[in-house]
Amino acid sequence: MSDEIDLEHFRDLLQARLAELDSLESAAQSRDSIELDQSKVGRLSRMDALQQQAMLDANRFRGRRERLRIEAAFRRIAEGDYGYCAQCDEPIALGRLNFDPATPLCIACANKADDN
């Protein structure tokens, strides 16, 4: 498949996504830490702060997971496996790769994984 797809195009998409993740991480780090001292804020404000902290933590987790997916895609490019499904070894549709260049699975295998 590497002869059929423009690997440079997908490298660029993956690099752009990494830059976007870096930007999001920088913005999250620049925010002030959330005040949880109940003596300084009311109960509802504290609950709101806890919710914001949980959302921030979830976003950081998703960012780390996405970064790992992108790194794995770069390894597949280097190994010559990019564009092939990690489960069935069939080509992944170009439309799917354009939508998510880090995807390791074809749509059929991804649907099977979702069913389990």
Which domain CATH number covers 16? Answer: 1.20.120.910
- Kindly state whether residue 2 falls inside one of the protein's structural domains: no
pTM metric for this prediction: 0.76
Question: Which structural domain, as residue segments, surrounds residue 34?
Answer: 7-115
Q: What is the dihedral of CA 86, 88, 93, 95, to 10 degrees?
A: -50
pLDDT (tens digit per residue) in 53-109: 888 888 889 999 999 999 999 999 999 999 999 999 999 999 999 999 999 999 999
- Kindly state whether residue 66 falls inside one of the protein's structural domains: yes
Q: Which tokens go with 82? A: 């990019």
Domain count within the chain: 1
- Kindly state whether residue 68 falls inside one of the protein's structural domains: yes
